[in-house]
Amino acid sequence: MTIQFGYELQARDGKARRGVVHTPRGDIQTPAFMPVGTAGTVKGLLPEQVRATGADIILGNTYHLMLRPGAERVARLGGLHAFMRWDGPILTDSGGFQVMSLASLRKIDEQGVVFKSHLDGSEHAMSPERSVEIQRLLGADITMQLDECIRLPAPHAEAERAMQLSLRWAERCKAAFDPAGGGRALFGIVQGGTERDLRLRSAEGLVGIGFDGYAVGGLAVGEPQEVMIRVLSETLGALPEDRPRYLMGVGTPEDMLLSVAEGIDMFDCVMPTRAGRHGQAYTRFGRLNLKNAKHAEDLRPLDEDSDCPAMRDYSRAYLHHLVRSQELLGAVLLSWANVHYYHSVMRDARRAIEEGLYADHVAATREAWARGDESAA
Protein backbone atom coordinates (compact mmCIF):
# COMPACT_ATOMS: atom_id res chain seq x y z
CA MET A 1 0.00 0.00 0.00
CA THR A 2 1.34 3.41 -0.90
CA ILE A 3 1.95 5.62 2.11
CA GLN A 4 0.01 8.84 1.78
CA PHE A 5 1.11 12.19 3.10
CA GLY A 6 -0.63 13.01 6.33
CA TYR A 7 -0.38 14.42 9.81
CA GLU A 8 -1.12 12.37 12.91
CA LEU A 9 -1.63 14.24 16.17
CA GLN A 10 -0.35 12.09 19.04
CA ALA A 11 -0.40 14.32 22.09
CA ARG A 12 -1.13 17.86 23.11
CA ASP A 13 -0.12 19.99 26.04
CA GLY A 14 -1.90 23.32 25.99
CA LYS A 15 -1.57 24.46 22.40
CA ALA A 16 1.69 22.52 21.90
CA ARG A 17 1.36 19.50 19.61
CA ARG A 18 3.36 16.31 19.38
CA GLY A 19 2.73 14.38 16.18
CA VAL A 20 4.06 12.62 13.13
CA VAL A 21 4.01 13.71 9.50
CA HIS A 22 3.85 10.60 7.36
CA THR A 23 5.47 10.70 3.93
CA PRO A 24 6.41 7.98 1.45
CA ARG A 25 10.08 8.70 2.19
CA GLY A 26 9.70 8.35 5.94
CA ASP A 27 8.07 9.79 9.01
CA ILE A 28 8.83 13.21 10.46
CA GLN A 29 8.56 13.39 14.23
CA THR A 30 7.07 16.76 15.19
CA PRO A 31 7.81 19.32 16.45
CA ALA A 32 10.64 18.99 13.91
CA PHE A 33 13.62 21.05 12.87
CA MET A 34 14.57 20.89 9.19
CA PRO A 35 18.25 21.63 8.42
CA VAL A 36 18.64 23.84 5.38
CA GLY A 37 20.44 22.28 2.41
CA THR A 38 20.62 25.55 0.57
CA ALA A 39 22.38 24.56 -2.64
CA GLY A 40 22.05 20.79 -2.44
CA THR A 41 24.15 20.41 0.72
CA VAL A 42 23.62 21.12 4.39
CA LYS A 43 26.71 23.28 4.50
CA GLY A 44 29.78 21.37 5.64
CA LEU A 45 28.05 18.11 6.56
CA LEU A 46 27.89 14.69 4.96
CA PRO A 47 24.36 13.37 4.48
CA GLU A 48 25.19 10.60 6.98
CA GLN A 49 26.16 13.22 9.55
CA VAL A 50 22.92 15.15 8.94
CA ARG A 51 20.89 11.98 9.44
CA ALA A 52 22.83 11.12 12.60
CA THR A 53 22.02 14.51 14.13
CA GLY A 54 18.39 13.43 14.17
CA ALA A 55 17.12 15.02 10.96
CA ASP A 56 13.99 13.37 9.51
CA ILE A 57 13.69 15.92 6.68
CA ILE A 58 15.81 18.62 5.14
CA LEU A 59 15.01 21.73 3.15
CA GLY A 60 16.27 22.68 -0.30
CA ASN A 61 16.26 26.19 -1.73
CA THR A 62 14.50 26.52 -5.05
CA TYR A 63 16.12 29.86 -5.82
CA HIS A 64 19.68 28.58 -5.39
CA LEU A 65 19.07 25.28 -7.15
CA MET A 66 17.22 26.78 -10.14
CA LEU A 67 20.22 29.02 -10.79
CA ARG A 68 22.86 26.39 -10.11
CA PRO A 69 22.89 23.60 -11.18
CA GLY A 70 19.41 24.29 -12.63
CA ALA A 71 16.13 22.47 -12.02
CA GLU A 72 16.08 20.66 -15.38
CA ARG A 73 19.67 19.51 -14.81
CA VAL A 74 18.82 18.18 -11.35
CA ALA A 75 15.89 16.30 -12.92
CA ARG A 76 18.15 14.79 -15.61
CA LEU A 77 20.55 13.71 -12.86
CA GLY A 78 17.78 11.82 -11.09
CA GLY A 79 16.36 14.46 -8.77
CA LEU A 80 17.65 16.23 -5.69
CA HIS A 81 17.52 13.15 -3.43
CA ALA A 82 19.91 11.15 -5.62
CA PHE A 83 22.01 14.22 -6.43
CA MET A 84 22.81 15.03 -2.81
CA ARG A 85 22.42 11.51 -1.40
CA TRP A 86 19.55 12.25 0.95
CA ASP A 87 16.87 9.57 0.89
CA GLY A 88 14.56 11.12 3.48
CA PRO A 89 11.86 13.65 2.68
CA ILE A 90 12.84 17.04 1.25
CA LEU A 91 10.82 20.21 1.54
CA THR A 92 11.61 22.86 -1.06
CA ASP A 93 10.72 26.47 -0.61
CA SER A 94 9.08 28.36 -3.47
CA GLY A 95 12.07 30.52 -4.25
CA GLY A 96 10.03 33.63 -3.56
CA PHE A 97 11.72 34.71 -0.36
CA GLN A 98 15.20 34.59 -1.84
CA VAL A 99 14.16 36.17 -5.10
CA MET A 100 13.04 39.08 -2.98
CA SER A 101 16.05 39.16 -0.65
CA LEU A 102 19.04 38.03 -2.76
CA ALA A 103 18.22 38.78 -6.39
CA SER A 104 18.18 42.24 -7.93
CA LEU A 105 16.16 44.37 -10.36
CA ARG A 106 13.00 42.49 -9.72
CA LYS A 107 9.54 43.24 -11.00
CA ILE A 108 6.53 41.84 -9.18
CA ASP A 109 3.12 41.82 -10.80
CA GLU A 110 0.09 39.60 -10.94
CA GLN A 111 1.83 37.15 -13.23
CA GLY A 112 4.84 36.59 -10.99
CA VAL A 113 8.29 38.00 -10.50
CA VAL A 114 11.18 38.80 -12.83
CA PHE A 115 14.66 38.99 -11.31
CA LYS A 116 18.34 38.95 -12.06
CA SER A 117 20.53 36.22 -10.63
CA HIS A 118 22.91 37.30 -7.86
CA LEU A 119 25.45 34.92 -9.42
CA ASP A 120 25.76 36.20 -12.98
CA GLY A 121 23.08 38.82 -13.52
CA SER A 122 21.09 36.56 -15.87
CA GLU A 123 17.37 37.33 -16.00
CA HIS A 124 14.80 34.80 -14.83
CA ALA A 125 11.03 34.74 -14.48
CA MET A 126 9.17 33.00 -11.70
CA SER A 127 5.43 32.45 -11.65
CA PRO A 128 3.39 30.32 -9.27
CA GLU A 129 3.22 27.68 -12.00
CA ARG A 130 6.96 27.78 -12.67
CA SER A 131 7.76 27.57 -8.97
CA VAL A 132 5.64 24.43 -8.66
CA GLU A 133 7.23 23.02 -11.81
CA ILE A 134 10.77 23.63 -10.51
CA GLN A 135 9.94 21.96 -7.21
CA ARG A 136 8.52 18.99 -9.14
CA LEU A 137 11.72 18.79 -11.20
CA LEU A 138 13.78 18.84 -8.01
CA GLY A 139 11.63 16.00 -6.67
CA ALA A 140 10.25 17.78 -3.60
CA ASP A 141 8.24 15.75 -1.13
CA ILE A 142 6.73 18.95 0.22
CA THR A 143 6.18 21.82 -2.22
CA MET A 144 5.63 25.38 -1.03
CA GLN A 145 3.34 27.85 -2.78
CA LEU A 146 4.90 30.99 -4.23
CA ASP A 147 4.13 34.00 -2.05
CA GLU A 148 5.20 37.58 -1.69
CA CYS A 149 7.20 38.47 1.39
CA ILE A 150 7.23 42.12 2.38
CA ARG A 151 9.58 43.90 4.72
CA LEU A 152 8.34 44.69 8.22
CA PRO A 153 7.14 47.03 9.47
CA ALA A 154 4.77 47.68 6.56
CA PRO A 155 1.61 49.78 6.22
CA HIS A 156 -1.66 47.83 6.52
CA ALA A 157 -2.53 48.48 2.89
CA GLU A 158 0.81 47.14 1.68
CA ALA A 159 0.55 44.04 3.86
CA GLU A 160 -3.00 43.50 2.60
CA ARG A 161 -2.03 43.84 -1.07
CA ALA A 162 0.80 41.31 -0.70
CA MET A 163 -1.42 38.93 1.29
CA GLN A 164 -4.14 39.05 -1.37
CA LEU A 165 -1.62 38.50 -4.15
CA SER A 166 -0.18 35.54 -2.21
CA LEU A 167 -3.70 34.09 -1.88
CA ARG A 168 -4.29 34.32 -5.64
CA TRP A 169 -0.87 32.72 -6.21
CA ALA A 170 -1.82 30.01 -3.71
CA GLU A 171 -4.83 29.16 -5.84
CA ARG A 172 -2.70 28.97 -9.00
CA CYS A 173 -0.13 26.77 -7.22
CA LYS A 174 -2.89 24.43 -6.12
CA ALA A 175 -4.13 24.21 -9.71
CA ALA A 176 -0.62 23.60 -11.05
CA PHE A 177 0.35 21.03 -8.43
CA ASP A 178 0.25 17.35 -9.32
CA PRO A 179 0.34 15.19 -6.17
CA ALA A 180 1.80 12.37 -8.31
CA GLY A 181 0.07 9.40 -6.77
CA GLY A 182 -0.85 11.06 -3.53
CA GLY A 183 2.48 10.91 -1.72
CA ARG A 184 3.46 14.49 -2.32
CA ALA A 185 2.24 17.49 -0.44
CA LEU A 186 1.61 21.16 -1.16
CA PHE A 187 1.68 23.74 1.62
CA GLY A 188 0.03 27.16 1.58
CA ILE A 189 1.66 30.12 3.30
CA VAL A 190 -0.17 32.48 5.63
CA GLN A 191 0.87 36.09 5.05
CA GLY A 192 -0.42 39.41 6.36
CA GLY A 193 2.48 41.03 8.16
CA THR A 194 1.80 41.69 11.83
CA GLU A 195 -1.88 42.48 11.30
CA ARG A 196 -4.33 40.16 13.05
CA ASP A 197 -7.18 40.72 10.59
CA LEU A 198 -4.96 40.08 7.55
CA ARG A 199 -3.41 36.93 9.03
CA LEU A 200 -6.87 35.54 9.80
CA ARG A 201 -8.20 36.36 6.33
CA SER A 202 -5.11 34.79 4.79
CA ALA A 203 -5.50 31.62 6.87
CA GLU A 204 -9.20 31.37 6.05
CA GLY A 205 -8.54 31.90 2.36
CA LEU A 206 -5.90 29.19 2.28
CA VAL A 207 -8.06 26.73 4.21
CA GLY A 208 -10.81 27.42 1.70
CA ILE A 209 -8.46 26.40 -1.12
CA GLY A 210 -7.26 23.41 0.88
CA PHE A 211 -3.62 22.44 1.44
CA ASP A 212 -1.77 19.46 2.91
CA GLY A 213 -0.08 21.74 5.40
CA TYR A 214 0.09 25.41 6.31
CA ALA A 215 3.12 27.58 6.76
CA VAL A 216 3.40 30.92 8.46
CA GLY A 217 5.58 33.18 6.35
CA GLY A 218 6.86 36.72 6.60
CA LEU A 219 7.99 36.44 10.21
CA ALA A 220 11.49 36.37 11.69
CA VAL A 221 12.38 39.25 9.40
CA GLY A 222 13.56 41.56 12.15
CA GLU A 223 10.43 42.05 14.28
CA PRO A 224 10.70 41.53 18.06
CA GLN A 225 10.21 37.96 19.30
CA GLU A 226 7.05 38.90 21.19
CA VAL A 227 5.47 40.26 18.00
CA MET A 228 6.20 36.98 16.23
CA ILE A 229 4.69 34.97 19.09
CA ARG A 230 1.66 37.29 19.19
CA VAL A 231 1.03 36.78 15.46
CA LEU A 232 1.26 33.01 15.92
CA SER A 233 -1.16 33.10 18.84
CA GLU A 234 -3.63 35.11 16.73
CA THR A 235 -3.23 32.99 13.60
CA LEU A 236 -2.81 29.32 14.38
CA GLY A 237 -6.33 28.87 15.76
CA ALA A 238 -7.63 29.48 12.23
CA LEU A 239 -5.69 26.52 10.83
CA PRO A 240 -7.05 22.97 10.82
CA GLU A 241 -5.97 20.59 13.56
CA ASP A 242 -5.29 17.76 11.16
CA ARG A 243 -2.60 19.50 9.12
CA PRO A 244 1.02 20.30 10.03
CA ARG A 245 1.99 23.93 10.68
CA TYR A 246 5.36 25.19 9.60
CA LEU A 247 6.98 28.42 10.77
CA MET A 248 9.36 29.46 7.99
CA GLY A 249 12.92 30.57 8.64
CA VAL A 250 12.75 30.38 12.44
CA GLY A 251 14.93 30.67 14.44
CA THR A 252 16.84 30.55 17.71
CA PRO A 253 16.25 27.58 20.03
CA GLU A 254 14.18 29.91 22.21
CA ASP A 255 12.12 31.10 19.22
CA MET A 256 11.35 27.47 18.47
CA LEU A 257 10.38 26.55 22.02
CA LEU A 258 7.98 29.50 22.28
CA SER A 259 6.52 28.81 18.84
CA VAL A 260 5.91 25.16 19.70
CA ALA A 261 3.94 26.43 22.69
CA GLU A 262 1.66 28.22 20.21
CA GLY A 263 1.14 25.07 18.14
CA ILE A 264 3.90 25.12 15.49
CA ASP A 265 5.08 21.70 14.24
CA MET A 266 7.94 22.42 11.84
CA PHE A 267 10.84 24.84 11.56
CA ASP A 268 13.72 25.53 9.22
CA CYS A 269 16.63 27.87 9.73
CA VAL A 270 20.17 28.41 8.47
CA MET A 271 21.18 29.60 11.93
CA PRO A 272 22.87 26.42 13.21
CA THR A 273 25.08 26.03 10.15
CA ARG A 274 25.69 29.75 9.64
CA ALA A 275 26.51 30.27 13.31
CA GLY A 276 28.78 27.22 13.14
CA ARG A 277 30.74 28.76 10.30
CA HIS A 278 31.14 31.87 12.42
CA GLY A 279 32.45 30.17 15.53
CA GLN A 280 29.22 30.07 17.52
CA ALA A 281 27.91 27.01 19.32
CA TYR A 282 24.35 26.46 20.53
CA THR A 283 24.36 24.31 23.64
CA ARG A 284 22.20 23.51 26.64
CA PHE A 285 24.32 26.12 28.45
CA GLY A 286 23.30 28.81 25.97
CA ARG A 287 25.21 30.17 23.01
CA LEU A 288 29.01 30.07 23.20
CA ASN A 289 31.31 32.21 21.09
CA LEU A 290 34.30 29.94 20.53
CA LYS A 291 36.35 32.88 19.24
CA ASN A 292 36.40 34.21 22.75
CA ALA A 293 39.80 33.96 24.45
CA LYS A 294 38.26 32.48 27.57
CA HIS A 295 37.97 29.15 25.74
CA ALA A 296 41.66 29.00 24.78
CA GLU A 297 42.67 26.55 27.51
CA ASP A 298 39.30 25.06 28.36
CA LEU A 299 39.63 21.29 28.09
CA ARG A 300 35.90 20.69 28.45
CA PRO A 301 33.97 19.66 25.35
CA LEU A 302 30.89 21.65 24.35
CA ASP A 303 28.76 19.10 26.19
CA GLU A 304 30.24 15.99 27.73
CA ASP A 305 26.80 14.38 28.01
CA SER A 306 25.91 14.79 24.36
CA ASP A 307 25.81 11.80 22.03
CA CYS A 308 27.11 13.99 19.17
CA PRO A 309 30.84 13.42 18.56
CA ALA A 310 31.32 17.08 17.65
CA MET A 311 29.87 18.18 21.00
CA ARG A 312 31.39 15.44 23.12
CA ASP A 313 34.85 14.59 21.80
CA TYR A 314 36.65 17.86 21.01
CA SER A 315 37.79 20.34 23.63
CA ARG A 316 36.65 23.95 23.57
CA ALA A 317 40.33 24.84 23.47
CA TYR A 318 40.69 22.93 20.20
CA LEU A 319 37.50 24.40 18.74
CA HIS A 320 38.75 27.86 19.75
CA HIS A 321 42.02 27.17 17.95
CA LEU A 322 40.22 25.95 14.81
CA VAL A 323 37.93 28.98 14.76
CA ARG A 324 40.79 31.42 15.33
CA SER A 325 42.78 29.68 12.59
CA GLN A 326 39.79 29.73 10.24
CA GLU A 327 40.20 26.01 9.74
CA LEU A 328 37.56 24.13 7.72
CA LEU A 329 37.27 21.58 10.51
CA GLY A 330 36.06 24.27 12.89
CA ALA A 331 33.14 25.09 10.59
CA VAL A 332 32.42 21.39 10.14
CA LEU A 333 32.46 20.53 13.85
CA LEU A 334 30.43 23.54 14.98
CA SER A 335 27.85 23.13 12.20
CA TRP A 336 27.53 19.49 13.15
CA ALA A 337 27.21 20.30 16.85
CA ASN A 338 24.63 23.05 16.25
CA VAL A 339 22.41 21.00 13.95
CA HIS A 340 22.56 18.21 16.51
CA TYR A 341 21.65 20.59 19.30
CA TYR A 342 18.67 21.98 17.36
CA HIS A 343 17.39 18.44 16.94
CA SER A 344 17.89 17.70 20.62
CA VAL A 345 15.83 20.79 21.48
CA MET A 346 13.01 19.38 19.34
CA ARG A 347 13.39 15.88 20.77
CA ASP A 348 13.21 17.19 24.33
CA ALA A 349 10.20 19.31 23.40
CA ARG A 350 8.41 16.27 21.99
CA ARG A 351 9.03 14.31 25.18
CA ALA A 352 7.86 17.18 27.39
CA ILE A 353 4.63 17.49 25.40
CA GLU A 354 4.03 13.74 25.72
CA GLU A 355 4.52 14.04 29.47
CA GLY A 356 2.26 17.07 29.74
CA LEU A 357 5.11 19.12 31.18
CA TYR A 358 5.82 21.46 28.32
CA ALA A 359 5.50 24.78 30.15
CA ASP A 360 7.81 23.60 32.92
CA HIS A 361 10.24 22.28 30.33
CA VAL A 362 10.38 25.62 28.54
CA ALA A 363 10.99 27.47 31.79
CA ALA A 364 13.74 25.08 32.88
CA THR A 365 15.43 25.15 29.49
CA ARG A 366 15.45 28.95 29.35
CA GLU A 367 16.83 29.06 32.85
CA ALA A 368 19.66 26.67 31.89
CA TRP A 369 20.53 28.82 28.88
CA ALA A 370 20.60 31.92 31.06
CA ARG A 371 22.65 30.22 33.77
CA GLY A 372 25.37 29.11 31.38
CA ASP A 373 28.06 26.67 32.42
CA GLU A 374 30.49 28.77 34.38
CA SER A 375 29.78 26.82 37.56
CA ALA A 376 31.18 23.71 35.91
CA ALA A 377 34.32 25.47 34.75
Per the annotation, the verdict on 268 as an active-site residue is yes
Please give the size of the binding site for a second copy, defined by CB under 8 A.
35
Q: Do the annotations mark residue 96 as ligand-binding?
A: yes
Distance from C-alpha of 254 to C-alpha of 258, rounded to nearest angstrom: 6
For a second copy, the closer CB: 68 or 151? 68
Determine how many CB atoms are found less than 10 A away from the CB of residue 121: 10
Q: Does 312 bind a second copy (CB under 8 A)?
A: no
Determine how many CB atoms are found less than 10 A away from the CB of residue 7: 21
- Binding residue for a second copy (CB under 8 A) from 3, 10, 14, 68? 68
Least separation, in Å, of the C-beta of 320 and a second copy? Answer: 8
Q: Do the annotations mark residue 139 as ligand-binding?
A: no
Q: Which amino acid is at 15?
A: K
Least separation, in Å, of the C-beta of 49 and a second copy? Answer: 9
Q: Do the annotations mark residue 348 as ligand-binding?
A: no
- Give 84-95 as a DSSP string: HT--S-EEE--S
- Residue 318 neighbours by CB under 8 Å, 6+ apart: none
Least separation, in Å, of the C-beta of 39 and a second copy? Answer: 5
- Which of 93, 141, 212, 255 is an active site residue? 93
Distance from C-alpha of 172 to C-alpha of 209, rounded to nearest angstrom: 10
Least separation, in Å, of the C-beta of 77 and a second copy? Answer: 5
Distance from C-alpha of 205 to C-alpha of 189, rounded to nearest angstrom: 10
Q: Does 78 bind a second copy (CB under 8 A)?
A: yes
Q: Does 83 bind a second copy (CB under 8 A)?
A: yes
For a second copy, the closer CB: 169 or 318? 318
Q: Does 79 bind a second copy (CB under 8 A)?
A: no
- Give 210-273 as a DSSP string: --SEEEE-S-SSS--HHHHHHHHHHHGGGS-TTS-EEETT---HHHHHHHHHHT--EEEESHHH
Binding to a second copy (CB under 8 A): which residues in 253-292? 277
For a second copy, the closer CB: 324 or 347? 324
Per the annotation, the verdict on 348 as an active-site residue is no
- Which of 56, 255, 265, 268 is an active site residue? 268
Cα separation values, 257 from 214, 246, 305, 328, 345, Å: 19, 13, 21, 31, 8
Residue 377, classed as helix, strand or coil, is coil
Q: Does 331 bind a second copy (CB under 8 A)?
A: yes
Q: Does 316 bind a second copy (CB under 8 A)?
A: no
Determine how many CB atoms are found less than 10 A away from the CB of residue 19: 22
Least separation, in Å, of the C-beta of 325 and a second copy? Answer: 5
Q: Does 209 bind a second copy (CB under 8 A)?
A: no
Distance from C-alpha of 41 to C-alpha of 331, rounded to nearest angstrom: 14
Pairing of strands 104-108, 113-116: antiparallel
**Exposure string for 324-356, b = 16+ CB within 10 A, e = fewer:** eeeeeebbbbbbbbbbbbbbbbbeebbebbeee
The interface mask with a second copy, positions 29-48, x = CB under 8 A, is ----------xxx-xxxx--
Q: Establish whether the linkage from the previous residue to 153 is cis, with ω within 30° of 0.
A: yes
Least separation, in Å, of the C-beta of 169 and a second copy? Answer: 28
Q: Do the annotations mark residue 97 as ligand-binding?
A: yes
Catalytic residue numbers, as ranges: 93, 268
For the annotated binding site for substrate, the residues are 93-97, 147, 191, 218
- Residues lying near a second copy in the complex (CB under 8 A) are found at 39-41, 43-46, 68-69, 73, 76-78, 83-85, 277, 296-297, 299, 309, 313-315, 317-318, 321-322, 324-325, 327-329, 331-332
